Amino acid sequence: MAISVEKKGAENNDNALNKKEAALIKNRKALIYGVLAIIIIIAGYLAYKTYYAEPREDEASTAIAKGQDYFANQQFDKAFNGDGAGFKGFKAITSDYSGTKAGNLANLYAGLCCANLDKWKEAASYLENYSSADDMMISPAAVAALGDAYAHLNQLDKAVESFKKAAKMADDEAEDNTNNSLSPTFLIKAGEILESQNKKDEALQIYQDIKKKYVNSAAYQQIDKYIERATTK
């Protein structure tokens, strides 16, 4: 009997590990997709800075351009560390051009590069150094990316707060204070983490808020399954 109980316990541990691994893979894929989704937005911002920035800003924007190409082609190591052929890398740009808007943007790129290279501690550090602005897309996505980094570092409370903050930032800049494309996605991530912490009541409240507020979002179509799962004891 003791052997049977021990075997069952080992099987339960294996299942728990498999679920955790699957969750991490899911989060990693979600982060990568999120990164690619904001590339076009960032590109537009960089184009503006290149043509209208002050001299140092212009120089910083020019320095960042090659890294943007590497990043878009998923050459994250070169984008972060440089290519040894003229491009210094986002890591160097963050310090060489600190205090500029393009240098600040390099923090975001550096953080996302590190995330895609599974360097989550460094990713969190760079993303924390990125100063967000009052915009509807880039800044909320950056804060959500920080949430992903915290989740991978098992700093789950900070991850939840980051996702909530990202959703609020997106809503604050949206028409009618409702960003149907980003906010519910971020909030679902927060809810899933809360579920993993066995805080089902908090997760349920988030899911119910999504159903009430984001009726025109893609998330609305599937939110009932999250509500049902969080209701199950």
Q: What is the pLDDT of residues 199-214, one digit of tens each?
A: 999 999 999 999 999 9
Any residues with CB less than 8 A from the CB of 141 and at least 6 apart, and which? 34, 37, 38, 166, 182
**Residue 135: what pLDDT?**
81
Question: Which of 141, 147, 72 is closest to 113 using CA atoms?
Answer: 72
- Give long-range contacts, CB 8 A cutoff, 24+ apart: 26-29: 27/148, 27/151, 27/152, 27/189, 28/118, 28/152
Residues of the chain with pLDDT below 50 are: 1-14, 16-17, 24-25, 29, 32, 36, 40, 49-52
Which pair of structure tokens corresponds to residue 30?
A: 């979600």
Q: Could you tell me the CA-to-CA distances from 216 to 5, 37, 179, 210, 219 in Å, in that order? A: 49, 20, 10, 10, 8
Domain boundaries in the chain? 25-131, 132-233
DSSP for residue 15: H
pLDDT computed for residue 213 by the predictor? 96
**CATH code of the domain made up of 132-233:** 1.25.40.10
User: What pLDDT is attached to residue 43?
Assistant: 52
> Is 10 exposed, middle or buried, given 0-12, 13-18 or 19+ CB atoms closer than 10 A?
exposed
